[in-house]
């Protein structure tokens, strides 16, 4: 189905929306001060080697040291590619090795203070530092260059009968040059001239990286991956993409020059948007962003989906809500689950939810209903550019799946934990806070001998002390033999309070 890409640019932020059938299917946000690191190449310094975990922490100049596992330090990675396409630089995540593979212990390969060229596989997330690999891969428009390997691979998305011919073509173009290559999906119909141009670009980039590694001290940045505008052309433009509209004339000209040099087929799809309305207003995209930050997603039938994201996994719960339109309960459940399968697949893309995902569909008693919902879910997931895997329903009736995670979710990009509940999603009741305060006053009275105790808290807590909890407050005052005064502060959250000794 036809696809349109809208780009809203400002000096501080770039926002990209993919539109299909008049609805937003995918959102990406990149802030100038918070650009992702995936694909960047660094000259790092080993700060700690952990033999027990067969891992090391590497200083690459960030707030937290990055993490490198021995599997990403292998001297040979021919077995890890398995002819898979690498969608972006540095996106090969983890080695694929047989049980018989024996690693040389990491403590015999690295030592503290050692300089090492590394590439970011995963951005820092939450309390975790960036994930690194010592096996560099540089993505071009048609090919991925593997400077430390001699493997020639072809994307598995290309038909098997064409792969061997394409492999031979790439091999002929790169023979005796050193390094390996993987042909990307969009290189399927490329001419030898196009491929040769991509090879030249990738080798020039690698030469610049190697030169910088010899000049710069550790830690230093050797290479930065393309910005979001450029990655749109490299990774998001498909055959069914008919227009790419950008609302900045300056960035449009820069992007067009980039396209003319590296991706000429996309030039005719680029358009400079000059309309009076903000470009994202054309499809109410800001409203969609607001919805994507909420827990609840309403379905057209009256049912709804609740999405909760934690550091370890994402849970999704499906409910019938007000949907009672089907002939019987089984049909109501089935129709709701079918609609939810479509909505959940879209929300995964929209919110960029990754890692382990557990979906609690409404229990279905009929096996054919379960099979149909699972088939519909897999069909919708097939539209995702990000790799997904579905394990099917568990013994408890939960659907388990994974979605590759390489960057923060939309919520983690745009939001932060609530200062009142500190990310818990709940706060103590006012009554619970009053009892905390009473216990704290008693504790303080045993250690200190002030003239008076003053409680400074939220208006709701103070109101409770003046009304329902006034007797408990008076009893405590009599017990400790000190007056207790109250002061309401509107700026205080419900769980916040101070006890001032006067």
**Predicted pLDDT at 461:** 95
| Paired strand residues for 153 | 182
SS3 116: strand
pLDDT above 60 for 89: no
Q: What is the DSSP letter of 14?
A: E
Residues 459 and 428 sit within 8 Å (Cβ to Cβ): no
Residues 6+ apart with CB under 8 A from 211: none
pTM here is 0.68
pLDDT above 90 for 205: no
Residue 150 binned pLDDT confidence (cut-offs 50, 70, 90): confident
pLDDT 10s digits, 440-476: 999 999 999 999 999 999 999 999 999 999 999 999 9
Q: Nearest 5°: phi and psi at 490?
A: -65, -25
pLDDT above 80 for 27: yes
Q: Does domain 3-34+229-286 have CATH number 3.20.20.70?
A: no
**Predicted pLDDT at 81:** 39
Residue 260: both structure tokens together: 């003319």
Residues 6+ apart with CB under 8 A from 309: 351, 353, 409, 411
**Predicted pLDDT at 160:** 85
Rounded Cα gap, residues 99 and 68, in angstroms? 20
Residues 170 and 195 sit within 8 Å (Cβ to Cβ): yes
Rounded Cα gap, residues 400 and 315, in angstroms? 10
pLDDT 10s digits, 388-446: 889 889 888 899 999 987 678 888 888 888 877 777 778 899 999 999 999 999 999 99
Give the residue-averaged pLDDT of 78-91.
39
Q: What are the boundaries of each domain within the chain?
A: 3-34+229-286, 41-223, 294-407, 430-501
Give the residue-averaged pLDDT of 161-169.
90
**Predicted pLDDT at 1:** 76
Rounded Cα gap, residues 129 and 412, in angstroms? 15
Residues 83 and 152 sit within 8 Å (Cβ to Cβ): no
Task: Give the other-Cβ count within 10 Å of 452's Cβ.
Answer: 12
| Topology annotation, domain 430-501 | Hypothetical Protein Ychn; Chain: A, (3.40.1260)
Which helix or strand (DSSP H or E) is residue 350 part of?
helix 329-351
pLDDT 10s digits, 352-365: 998 999 999 999 98
Give the residue-averaged pLDDT of 322-345.
84
User: What string of DSSP letters covers 270-290?
Assistant: EEE---SS-GGGGGTHHHHHH
Residues 403 and 386 sit within 8 Å (Cβ to Cβ): yes
pLDDT above 50 for 79: no
Q: Is 66 exposed, middle or buried (0-12, 13-18, 19+ CB in 10 A)?
A: buried
**Predicted pLDDT at 56:** 96
Task: Give the other-Cβ count within 10 Å of 391's Cβ.
Answer: 11
Residue 461: both structure tokens together: 């807590």
> Percent of the chain scored above 90 by pLDDT?
60
Superfamily of domain covering 41-223: Nucleic acid-binding proteins (2.40.50.140)
Chain position carrying tokens 């939960």 = 398
**Predicted pLDDT at 102:** 56
Residue 334: both structure tokens together: 């089935």
**Predicted pLDDT at 113:** 95
Give the residue-averaged pLDDT of 51-63.
94
What is the 3 state secondary structure string of 395-433? CCCCEEEEECCCCCCHHHHHCCCCCCCCCCCCCCCHHHH
pLDDT above 70 for 273: yes
Residues 37 and 120 sit within 8 Å (Cβ to Cβ): yes
């Amino acid at each position: 189905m036809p696809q349109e890409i809208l780009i809203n640019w400002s000096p501080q932020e770039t926002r990209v929306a993919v539109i299909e059938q008049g609805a937003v299917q995918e959102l990406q946000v990149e802030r100038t001060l918070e650009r992702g690191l995936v694909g960047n190449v660094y000259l790092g310094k080993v700060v700690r080697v952990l033999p027990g975990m067969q891992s090391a922490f590497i200083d690459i100049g960030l707030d937290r040291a990055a993490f490198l596992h021995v599997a990403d330090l292998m001297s040979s990675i021919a077995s890890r590619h398995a002819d898979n396409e690498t969608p972006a630089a540095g996106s090969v995540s983890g080695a694929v090795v047989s049980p018989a593979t024996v690693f040389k212990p990491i403590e015999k390969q690295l030592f503290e203070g050692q300089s090492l060229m590394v590439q970011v596989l995963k951005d820092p997330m939450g309390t975790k530092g960036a994930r690194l690999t010592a096996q560099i891969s540089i993505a071009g428009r048609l090919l991925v260059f593997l400077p430390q390997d001699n493997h020639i691979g072809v994307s598995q998305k290309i038909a098997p009968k064409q792969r061997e011919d394409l492999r031979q073509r790439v091999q002929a173009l790169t023979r005796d040059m050193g390094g390996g290559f993987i042909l990307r999906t969009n290189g399927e119909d490329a001419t030898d001239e196009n491929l040769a141009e991509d090879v030249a670009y990738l080798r020039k980039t690698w030469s610049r990286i190697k030169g910088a590694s010899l000049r710069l001290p550790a830690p230093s940045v050797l290479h930065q991956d393309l910005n979001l505008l450029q990655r749109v052309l490299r990774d998001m433009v498909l055959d069914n993409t008919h227009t790419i509209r950008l609302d900045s004339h300056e960035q449009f000209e820069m992007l067009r020059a980039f396209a003319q040099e590296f991706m000429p087929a996309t030039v005719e799809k680029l358009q400079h948007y000059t309309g009076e309305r903000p470009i994202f207003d054309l499809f109410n995209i800001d409203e969609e962003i607001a919805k994507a930050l909420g827990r609840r997603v309403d379905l057209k039938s009256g049912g709804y989906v609740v999405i909760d994201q934690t550091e370890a996994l994402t849970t999704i719960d499906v409910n019938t809500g007000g949907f009672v339109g089907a002939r019987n309960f089984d049909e109501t459940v089935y129709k709701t689950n079918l609609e939810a399968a479509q909505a959940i697949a879209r929300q995964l893309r929209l919110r960029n939810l990754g890692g382990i995902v557990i979906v609690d569909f409404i229990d279905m008693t009929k096996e054919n209903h379960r099979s149909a919902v699972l088939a519909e879910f897999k069909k919708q997931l097939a539209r995702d550019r990000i790799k997904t895997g579905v394990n099917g329903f568990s013994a408890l009736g939960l659907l388990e799946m994974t979605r590759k995670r390489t960057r923060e979710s939309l919520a983690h990009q745009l939001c932060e934990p609530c200062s009142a509940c500190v990310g818990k999603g709940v706060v103590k009741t006012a009554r619970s806070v009053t009892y905390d305060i009473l216990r704290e006053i008693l504790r303080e009275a045993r250690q200190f001998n002030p003239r008076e105790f003053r409680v400074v808290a939220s208006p709701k807590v103070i109101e409770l002390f003046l009304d329902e909890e006034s007797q408990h407050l008076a009893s405590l005052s009599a017990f400790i033999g000190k007056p207790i005064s109250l002061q309401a502060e509107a700026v205080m959250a419900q769980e916040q309070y101070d006890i001032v000794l006067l």
